[in-house]
Structure 1
Amino acid sequence: MKTKVYVTGIGLLTPNGFGLERYWEATLKGRTGISPLSRFDVSRYPARLAGQIDGFEAAEHLPSRLLPQTDVSTRFALVAADWALADAKIEPGAYSDYEMGVVTSNACGGFDFTHREFRKLWSQGPASVSVYESFAWFYAVNTGQISLRNQLRGASSALVAEQAGGLDAIGHARRTILRDTPMVVTGGVDSALDPWGWLSQVSGGRLSTATNPHLAYRPFDIHAGGYVPGEGGAMLVLESAAAATSRAATQLYGEIAGYATTFDPPPGSTRPPGLRRAAELALTDAGLEPEEIDVVFADASGVPELDRTEAAAICGLFGPHAVPVTAPKALTGRLYSGGGPVDVATALLSIRDGVIPPSGGTSEVPEEYRIDLVQGAPRPGPVSTALVLARGRWGFNAAVVVRAVPAESVPSA
């Protein structure tokens, strides 16, 4: 029988709330974290809104020696990992250092850090550039810094696949546990809200140019006009069922039951996009049929042609209006590598509390999409399984299935 992999800890920072319960409260109330970007003057840019994390002081959570050597995204990753480990309540000695690994995803690298150092190079010369530039910009640095801070010396990895990368990290962490590393910290974060990072996102051509924070990011809406980027993400503690049971883990959020990834065919191909196939493979991996899924957390790009493609994939797999679909990321902005892990955390909270959060912003879904999008208010009801979808730029697709832990496996209060 395949080893089960449980989520035993979650740490999360998003624009509409950092800390798991604060985020969940904001999401159920439909409170947006999208606002005018205030890090620099965006008045001359066509897109001016972002999901910013305000009020977070890294110095309150991390030692001073780490601050000069870390980008803002790495600081988010370190704090989220700290919170996830604390949430899992793993006592010293529960694992040896080589029994604990780290798998993270990051799409943008340390944009803010490296661009600041570039400015020093051009204006002050090479001697002014931080020695930490050699690694602070790198996509793999979050895995390394989390490993060093927490002495997690087991099998570790870093992945880059834009919005799909966060789910890929969780899927690979699960694979790492199935290969006999009993505990893995996994997830993803991103932040690229400095001037150069912002320009790179604007140049992609998919950002919303709306000025109303409540109407800027409206996935699956008849008036959808692109997405709003954000910053943040989530880190999860994954453990094998045997390891969690052995250390008498006090909470089991749910099981990472299935995972799959696919890649779209090249432009102009007559073959279909790969998102539906990723979902089908993830369901097969979990041993589930489509009718056993209680909710789909959509990728929800907010770009009309991409929304149409995703709606067709969901409708084709499940049937018209056959499964609730939600996109709470419309309240935070699109978090790139952080988006999938936040959706997985949200799906686990849906299972825990028996409620599906609403999609922010969307009010009118084209009838041709034939999906049951949860809008306006949370939808209560039992939730035991959820499918989470994500698509990265240039054709990456990923799908993760989470499900409730059997009642007999849940520790008693």
Structure 2
Amino acid sequence: MSGGSGGRTVITGMGVATPHGLEVEEFWAAVRVGRNAIGPVSRFDASGYPARLAGEIPGFSAEDHLPGPLVPQTDRTTQLALVAADRALRDAGLAPGDLPPYGMGVVTAVGAGGAAFGERELGRLWGLGPGHVSAYQSFAWFPAVNTGQLAIRSGSRGPNGVLIGDQAGGLDAVGQARRELGRGSRLVAAGGFEASLTPLGWAARLATGLMSRSDRPEEAYAPFQPTAGGYVPGEGGALLILEEEASARARGARTLHAELAGYSATLDPPPGSGREPGLRRAIELALADAAVPPEAVDVVFADAAGSPEADAAEARAINAVFGPGGVPVTAPKTTIGRLLAGGAPVDVVTAVLAIREGLIPPTINVGTGPAGGLDLVAGRPRTASVRTALVLARGHGGFNSAVVLRAVD
């Protein structure tokens, strides 16, 4: 599945909430040099769990960023989304009310929803009784709550939606935003967020068997290595402001960060079918949607699941399209962990910044060992002319998504 719009879709605003900080430039200063933000879990007592590392956002207090009445209504996931949205709109040179109410839409991705809020209220239910459960529980846990709160705060009455596809969902939200622009929306805010670092959320992730159980932050999340033992979870995400180029220029947009040139999504075949996974096809469809040949891609931002089998499958897909070692590949998410629905939008922001600076940020924790035949940018950043970037994401259950980004002249 791919999707396009009538004119070129451009990114005019970016906002992040990551373990490297809440500002795009703060995030870039850390990720471009491979600074590690993974450490012991502090949000709850993880000593009794077999996995105890995460990428947490340090020192975040919603009261410092949001109106007081909004704080008790919202889960941490939503709070991070609202903060990132404020920054993205500011970056785009917009304020609520600048666009016609029906001219703006919001599309977000999420996995766990308002996990911390829901878990807290369940504790109150069983410990104190139903009279102690917050009235806001009726919506604060709901997967669509981020989209709803963002739409209310920004005054958006256009096409709003939510997508759930695990790690791939964030790219699907961006792809859906591009479609909505083609249907007449003036502007769409799109991205994904996750903040399920809670005891119940942790137990649910452990049940997949995909999390790293290492206690060493410098080696726990090491994709494309024979010794890879899983991923380290993180929290946060990113929001992008997307517009058609002509409309953005007409309103005097301050910056056209990059073009969203291509998008595609596929599903893996059923287990045991003997058929090839869908990632290679997603890459080919996204490149075709962008009218970009493989040799024009300057860097691939990998999904980097962190387990030998999944990483080998991704390496095979990349090599099948570009040839062994045919394109630089990187996974800067090793510095912050996998953010599930929030991870791929953060990768999009990272790719935009790589295009801007002409620098590919590194994959850390991997040394110089084997990498499945990939030209893995490991340990240190690499200076390069980056005009076109490919971002990949896969979700648990067989979701595959790909986005092509291109410099705007």
Find 2:377's aligned residue among 359, 374, 391: 374
Could you say what secondary structure the match of 1:401 adopts?
Answer: strand
SS at match of 2:366: coil
Give me the whole-angstrom Cα distance separating, in 2, the residues matched to 1:120 and 1:250: 48
Q: What RMSD, in angstroms, separates the aligned Cα atoms of the two structures?
A: 1.1
- Name the SS of the counterpart of 1:271 in structure 2: coil
- Report the equivalent of 2:406: 403
**Native 8 Å contact 2:89 2:95 kept in 1:** no
In the alignment, structure 1 residue 146 sits paired with structure 2 residue 161? no
Instruction: Read off the aligned partner of 1:292 and give its amino acid letter.
Output: A
Q: 2:366, 2:290 → 1: CA distance?
A: 31
One-letter code aligned to 2:390: L
In structure 2, relative to structure 1, the CA distance for the partners of 1:332 and 1:316 (3 Å cut) is same
Q: Tell me which residue corresponds to 1:102.
A: 106
Q: Which moved more, 1:282-291 or 1:16-25?
A: 16-25
Which of 228, 234, 244 is the aligned partner of 1:240?
A: 244
1:384 aligns with 2:358: no
User: Which residue number in structure 1 is paired with residue 353 of structure 2?
Assistant: 349
Q: Deviations over 1:237-267 (max 9, x none)?
A: 0011111011111101101000000000011
1:73-126 Cα shifts (integer Å, max 9, x gaps): 000001001110011002566421110110000011111000100010001111
Q: Distance in 1 between matches of 2:125 and 2:60?
A: 29
Residue pair 1:110, 1:139 contacting (<8 A) in 2 also: yes
Amino acid at match of 2:350: T
Counterpart-to-counterpart distance in 2, 1:93 and 1:247: 14
Q: How does 1:316-335 map to 2 (within 5 A)?
A: 316-335=320-339
SS in 1 for 2:238: strand
Whole-angstrom CA distance in 1 between matches of 2:303 and 2:88: 24
User: Residues of 1 paired with 2:50 and 2:270: CA distance?
Assistant: 29
The answer as to whether partners of 2:97 and 2:154 remain within 8 angstroms in 1 is no
TM-score after normalising by structure 1: 0.96
TM-score, scaled to structure 2: 0.97
Instruction: Output the CA distance in 2 between the equivalents of 1:108 and 1:28.
Output: 29
Q: Is the 8 A contact 1:94 1:247 kept in 2?
A: no
1:410 is matched with: none
Q: Distance in 2 between matches of 1:218 and 1:34?
A: 12
For residues 41-77 of structure 1, the C-alpha deviation after alignment (integer angstroms, 9 at most, x for no partner) is: 1111110000000111110110011111100000000
1 CA distance for matches of 2:259 and 2:54?
A: 32
What's 2:362 paired with? 358
Structure 1 portions without partners, runs of 5+: 407-413
Q: What SS does the aligned partner of 1:188 have?
A: strand
Of residues 86, 89, 104, the one that matches 1:85 is 89
**Offset, 1:365:** 3.8
Whether 1:9 and 2:13 are equivalent positions in the alignment is yes
Q: Could you say which residue in structure 1 is the equivalent of 2:41?
A: 37
SS at match of 1:145: helix
Q: Percent identity?
A: 55
Structure 1 match to 2:217: 213
> Could you tell me whether the CA contact under 8 Å between 2:298 and 2:328 is conserved in 1?
yes
Q: Cα distance, 1:16 vs. partner? A: 2.2
Counterparts of 1:237 and 1:22 in 2: how far apart (Å)?
A: 19
- Which one-letter code corresponds to 2:74 in the other structure? T
Letter in 2 for 1:110: G
Unaligned runs of 5+ in 2: none
Return structure 1 stretches of 4+ with deviation > 4 angstroms: 91-94
SS class of match (1:130): coil
Counterpart of 1:65, as a letter, is P
